[in-house]
C-alpha cells in the first residue's frame, strides 16, 4: 500500500514538473525549446502522427511533388483539422532519394476525416494537374506510411526550434511489445524531462501502431545545426538523472535496435 502511494506521489510530481516546463515553453522563458500546445489532454485525445516516406522516381520532376504537397495537400489537411505539416529531405546522397512528410492529427477522428479528401470538390480542383500526370511522368515509385500514437508525457506535437536546420528521427525497436511498453514508461516517467533539462527541443514522441519495425517507438528532435546536436547529446549522456534512470532494472533490455535518420527542412517554393 505504501509503495503504491509513493509511486502515485512520484507520478504526480513528474506531471506537475512537466506542466511547469510546458508553461515555460509557452511563455518563451526556456531557450531552444518549442511552444507547448494542448496541455492536459486526456489520453483518448492524444495526437496521431503520420510519417509518409516518398521514394522519388529516378529522373522525375521532384519540384512538382513538393509543390503538390505544399500547395494542394497541406491546405486541404489544415482545413480538415491537421495541426502540423512538415516536409523533410534526407541528408546525404541517398539513392533513391526519399522525401518525408510529417503530419499531426489532433485525434483519431481528424485522421479518419482526412482519408476522405477525394470527396471534397475544392481539393479535387486543386489537385487536377497532379492527378492528370501520365504514367511516364510519375513523381515517385511508392510511398510508405507509419502511424504513431503520442506519448502520455508528450501528448501533442510541438513546433521545431526557431531556424531549425537539422532534424534527428530516431526509432527504437524492442524485442517484444512489453520491452517497448517499458521503454515508453521510461520516457514518460523521467527521460523526457532529462531531454528538456539538457536543452533539447523535441518535436514529438510516439508509439508506432501501424508501419514497419514494430514493436517500436519513434521520436524526433530539432536542432539549429549538427554542432548544437552533438553538444546537447553530450550533455544528455553526462546528466546524472540519465545515469540513474538508465541503470534501473525495470528498463533493462528495452531497446534491441536503433534506427536514425538525419533530415533537413524543405521550404515552400
Which mean pLDDT values do the consecutive 10-residue runs of the chain (269 residues) have? 50 53 43 36 76 94 96 97 97 90 96 95 96 95 97 96 96 98 98 98 98 97 98 98 97 97 92
Give Cα 193 distance to the centre of its chain: 17
N-term to C-term CA, the chain: 60
Q: Measure the CA–CA gap between 156 and 152, rounded to whole angstroms.
A: 9
Full-model pTM? 0.83
Task: Name the residue with cell 521510461.
Answer: 186
Considering all CA atoms of the chain, what is the largest pairwise distance in Å, rounded to the nearest integer?
Answer: 69
Question: Checking DSSP bridges between strand 84-90 and strand 48-56, what pairing results, if any?
Answer: unpaired
Side-chain half-sphere exposure of 6, counting CA atoms within 13 A: 3
What's the burial of 41, exposed, middle or buried (CB within 10 Å: 0-12/13-18/19+)? middle
At 9 the pLDDT is 52
Residues 6+ apart with CB under 8 A from 120: 76
pLDDT at 8: 52
Check if the beta carbon of residue 210 is closer than 8 Å to that of residue 146: yes
pLDDT the model gives residue 268: 85
Residue 182 host element (H or E)? helix 177-186
Nearest to 14 by CA among 182, 193, 244, 154: 193
User: Would you state the pLDDT for residue 94?
Assistant: 81
CB 178 within 8 A of CB 251: no
- Domains recognised in the chain with CATH numbers: 2-46+148-265 (3.30.70.100), 48-141 (3.30.70.100)
| Pair 191, 250: CB distance under 8 Å | no
Alpha-carbon radius of gyration of the chain: 20
Partnered with residue 102 across adjacent β-strands are 51, 86
> What pLDDT is stored for residue 92 in this prediction?
86
pLDDT at 19: 47
Per DSSP, the residues of 132-152 read T--GGG-SEEEEEEEEEEEBT
Amino acid at each position: 500500500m505504501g509503495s503504491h502511494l509513493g509511486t502515485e506521489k512520484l507520478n504526480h510530481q513528474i506531471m506537475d514538473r512537466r506542466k511547469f516546463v510546458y508553461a515555460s515553453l509557452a511563455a518563451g522563458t526556456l531557450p531552444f525549446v518549442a511552444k507547448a500546445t494542448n496541455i492536459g489532454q486526456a489520453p483518448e485525445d492524444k495526437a496521431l502522427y503520420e510519417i509518409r516516406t516518398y521514394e522519388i522516381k529516378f529522373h522525375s520532376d521532384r519540384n512538382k511533388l513538393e509543390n503538390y504537397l505544399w500547395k494542394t495537400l497541406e491546405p486541404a489537411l489544415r482545413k480538415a483539422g491537421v495541426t502540423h505539416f512538415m516536409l523533410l529531405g534526407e541528408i546525404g546522397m541517398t539513392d533513391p532519394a526519399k522525401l518525408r512528410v510529417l503530419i499531426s492529427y489532433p485525434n483519431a477522428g481528424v485522421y479518419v476525416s482526412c482519408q476522405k479528401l477525394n470527396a471534397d470538390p475544392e481539393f479535387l480542383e486543386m489537385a487536377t494537374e497532379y492527378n492528370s500526370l501520365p504514367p511516364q511522368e510519375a513523381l515517385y515509385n511508392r510511398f510508405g506510411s507509419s502511424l504513431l500514437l503520442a506519448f502520455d508525457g508528450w501528448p501533442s506535437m510541438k513546433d521545431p526550434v526557431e531556424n531549425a536546420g537539422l532534424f534527428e528521427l530516431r526509432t527504437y525497436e524492442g524485442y517484444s511489445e512489453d520491452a517497448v511498453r517499458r521503454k515508453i514508461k521510461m520516457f514518460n516517467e523521467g527521460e523526457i524531462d532529462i531531454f528538456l533539462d539538457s536543452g533539447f527541443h523535441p518535436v514529438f514522441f510516439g508509439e508506432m501502431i501501424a508501419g514497419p519495425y514494430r514493436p517500436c517507438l519513434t521520436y524526433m528532435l530539432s536542432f539549429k545545426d549538427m554542432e548544437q546536436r552533438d553538444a546537447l547529446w553530450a550533455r544528455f549522456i553526462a546528466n546524472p538523472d540519465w545515469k540513474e534512470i538508465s541503470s534501473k532494472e525495470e528498463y533493462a533490455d528495452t531497446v534491441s535496435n536503433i534506427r536514425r535518420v538525419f533530415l533537413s527542412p524543405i521550404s515552400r517554393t
